Structure formats: C-alpha cells, structure tokens
Structure 1
Amino acid sequence: MKTLLSVIALTTACLGTATLAAAENWKLAHEEDGIKVYLTQVPGSRYQSFRGVADIKAEVSTLRDLQENLRVACKWLYACAEMRLLKNDGDDTWVYLTTELPWPAAPRDMVLHVHTEQGDDGSLVRRLEATPDYLPPVTGLIRVRQLSGLWQMRPKTDGETEVTYQLQAEPAGDIPSWLANRFVVDAPMVSLKTLRAVAERQGVRDTP
C-alpha cells in the first residue's frame, strides 16, 4: 500500500483546492506542547480552515508508514471511526473514512482522493480532496462532499520532521457553531499530538 492519507481526519471545513490555496490570512489560534494551530476565514463559508504545525522527532519514512497503515492511522487521527483502502494506483489512493464526532453532530462519511508527492529534499506532501460520488451514499451517514487539505512532512536536522496538517471542509448537514469552532482547533491539535507520540515511540523501538 503505497500511499495513504491519514489524516485525514476528518474533518471538516472546505470548499476545494483553489479556495484552500487562496486562504492564506492565517492567525495563531492555539499553541500547546510545541504544536501551533492557525485558523483562517474562508470566503463564502461558515467554517474556518485550520493549519496545525508540529516538529516530530521521527524520520519522514516513519511518519509515512504510520499514515499508510490505515488501522493505526485511524487511531491517531481525530474523530476517525473507520478507515479503509478503496484503491491504490501509484501515487494516488482512494480511502473511505467515517467519523465519530461529539453529540449532537450526526456521523459523517467521506471518500478521499490522496495524491502523494515526494520532494528531492526528502519531503513528502499528501494532497487530500473529497470525491463524494466514488461510492453510493451509506444509510445513516451524512456524506461530506466538499473537502480539501494536505499533509506536509519536511525533514529537518537530527532526524526531526516538521509536519503540517491543513484542512478546509464543508461538513454538510447542521453543525452547531460551538462544535465547529472546537473542531478546527481539536482536530489538528489532537491528531498531531497523538501522531507525535506514536511516531516517537516507534523511533525509539527502531533505534539500534
């Protein structure tokens, strides 16, 4: 399984890749344990886009493996209930993901197209985009139809990697404003904090 996402997260908050690229007025909203979460308003949307940034003491290859192992990825990705591979085609992967959001939000599902780009400097970028019509609707779940984002892993010195998790989505259905506001901070913060813990434990085990 060459490529995955993970991340993913699910989710929340977006209008497409073009809008994601255009939303660059980021403001620091929360900082904790070395992890920074930035938010920006999205024109025409009620939901903010988030960007979480953290330094993780692990190689890019370790983080890549933790994303491509979907069973493990769903455990560290905030609000993930299920994640499974639908198709892998070289640098492109399609993943099905369901969410488990706090009450009163109804569960969501989504199909994500994940495109992976490997940089000459050892960096890795995974671009996420919702492909809602890839699978028929599932009874009891609200399909997220608009989502775009990315995971970026940039190697630094001494085996450390700067990880960026960015997402913008329209969650579909009704989401209370207090829950939406909490999600855009908790999703990157919890995902990055948990990924860091798992990756750094893995790095210790892999050390001769």
Structure 2
Amino acid sequence: MRTRIILLFMFVTAFAKAQTVGAWQLKESSDGIKIYTADISNSKIKGIKVECQFNATLSQVTAALMDIKNSEEWLYHTAGNQLIKQVSPGELYYYSLIEMPWPVSNRDFIAHLKVTQDPVSKVVTMDAPCIPDMIPVKPKIVRITNSKGKWVVTPAGPDHVKILYTLYADPGGDVPSWLTNLFITQGPSQSFKKFKAHIQKPAYKNAKLDYVVNQQ
C-alpha cells in the first residue's frame, strides 16, 4: 500500500523478482518492538520489517488479523475497512481507506488475505498483497496499486509467539518526504503497540479456529 502509507496496516515483503532487498537497518526499538527499513532496488520507497514477541496463541493473533471490521482500532491512520469477499474462514478480500494529512490526498487499497499453517512447525503465514482493480477507483482518492505484505507468526512456547511482518508499499502520487518518514517509523510503531493490547480482548483471547492449530 503506499509509501508505507499503507504501512498502517497490515500488512510483508514478497517483492517482485526484478527487485532485491538491501541490508535491514534498525530504525526504532521500543516495548520489545523492533522496526527495520531496507532499500529496494528500482524503487525510492523503502521496505519495512517489524519483529516482536507477544504473549498470545497462534489462533489469538490470527483471529485479530482476520477481524477486518475492527482492525481500524489499531491500524495507523486507517479511516475504515470493509470486507469485500469472504472466500473461506482463512481467506478474504477487503477494502481499506487511509486518511492522509492535508493537503495530501487520501489513499485506498484492496488486499487479499490468505492464512496458511505449516502442519509440522505450526508456523502461521498470512500473505497480504494488494489487488488494484477489484473495485472501481473512487473520486479524489489515490489507489495504491503496488503493495506486498506478509505476516509470519511462529510458536515460541505455550501462549507465546514471535511475529515477523514485512511490507513494501508504493503510495503512488506525490508524497512529501516528511510524511513518508512518518509512515515508515511512526506508523508501524503505533500500530504494533496498539495491536499488542488489541489481541488481549476476549473475542480473540478465547478464539478457536478450525484452520489454525495452537502450539502445545
């Protein structure tokens, strides 16, 4: 999504074959949440990586990430999310509107979320590429057409998980450098701190998912 504009969200780097990722550089470390950036070949936009560990189960984290309606409670500058299509319990398409500071135009994107789990390691992976033309472009809103995000949630003991999130997003249009930097660092930092508290709600803490087996 989105010069990290969509970094608000959700969002992991499945970069195109023509692109290569440079060395990751630590930009911020706070409350156990580490944020890295890296240069991407043939792009002025940097890639983002977030690493953290939460007291939670695999189902707990997955249930919160798949709860599109309430994800705007923790995603940075997200003005609204709307489910477009539920393919299965672990796969869906959704629309998201990103609110930008004046005078920059708001952005939007359509993401395809799909959850898979390794039957042996129990690692849960959620790919979240954007689908640019699933619904018509809206007036006065810039559509993010190039964004690739990914969540990798790894068991790290009973009720404990390690999260790795990567994102490459081109916001499209003209975006001031100060705003780009804001979304690259402040966006993921605020989102993950809110997400850490968000997943402790009863709706997620007690979640049981048929498509995710929790760690023992």
TM-score (norm: length of structure 2): 0.82
Structure 1 residues 97-112: aligned runs within 5 Å: 97-112=96-111
Q: Which residue does 1:94 correspond to in 2?
A: 93
Name the % identity.
25
Q: What is the deviation of 1:103?
A: 3.2
Seen in structure 2, the aligned counterparts of structure 1 residues 195 and 20 have a Cα distance that, compared at 3 Å, is: farther
Answer 1 or 2: which has greater helix percent: 1
Contact 2:26 2:37 in 1 (8 A): yes
Q: 1:21 to 1:172 in 2, by over 3 A?
A: closer
| Aligned residue in 1 for 2:200 | 200
The residue that corresponds to 1:3 in the other structure is: none
Q: Give a deviation string over 1:151-184, Cα, whole Å, max 9, x none.
A: 1211111311111221111101111011101211
Q: Which residue is 1:4 aligned to?
A: none
**1:129-170 deviations in Å (ceiling 9; x for gaps):** 111111111112110010001112111113111112211111
Per the alignment, in what secondary structure is the counterpart of residue 152 of structure 2? strand
The alignment partner of 1:194 has SS state of helix
Instruction: For 1:50, give the aligned amino acid.
Output: I
Q: Secondary structure at the match of 2:73?
A: helix
Structure 2: runs of 5+ lacking an equivalent: 1-5, 207-216
The letter for the 2-side match of 1:58 is A
Q: Does 1:23 align with 2:4?
A: no
Change (3 A) 1:64 1:8: farther
The answer to whether the 8 A contact 1:13-1:48 is kept is no
**In 2: Cα distance, 1:101 partner to 1:186 partner:** 14
What do the CA deviations read for 1:10-35 (whole angstroms, capped 9, x no partner)?
Answer: 47998x63259831521111111111
- Per-residue CA deviation, residues 56-83 of structure 1 (Å, 9 max, x unaligned), is 1111111111112222211111121111
Supply the distance in 2 between the matched residues of 1:142 and 1:71 (Cα, whole angstroms): 22
**Which runs of no fewer than 5 residues in structure 1 stay unpaired?**
1-6
Which range moves more in the overlay, 98-107 or 56-65? 98-107
Residues 7-156 of structure 1 mapped to structure 2, 5 A cutoff = 9-10=8-9, 17-18=15-16, 22-90=20-88, 91-120=90-119, 121-156=121-156
User: How has the CA–CA distance of structure 1 residues 192 and 175 changed in structure 2, closer, same or farther, with 3 Å as cutoff?
Assistant: same
Q: State the secondary structure of the residue aligned to 2:192.
A: helix
- How many residues are treated as equivalent by the alignment? 199
Q: Give the alignment's Cα RMSD to 1 decimal.
A: 2.6
Deviations 1:103-123 (A, max 9, x none): 332110111122221122222
1:200 aligns to what SS in structure 2?
coil
Q: 1:183 to 1:60 in 2, by over 3 A?
A: same
Whether the aligned pair in 2 keeps the contact of 1:42 and 1:49 (CA below 8 Å) is yes
CA contact (8 A) 1:37 1:53 kept: yes
| SS in structure 2 at match of 1:163 | strand
Q: 1:47 to 1:21 in 2, by over 3 A?
A: closer
Separation of aligned partners in 2, 1:93 and 1:55 = 26
Does the CA-based 8 Å contact 1:123-1:153 persist in structure 2? yes
How far apart, in 1, do the equivalents of 2:73 and 2:155 lie? 24
1:179 aligned partner: 179
Q: Conserved in 2, the CA contact under 8 Å of 1:12 and 1:168? A: no
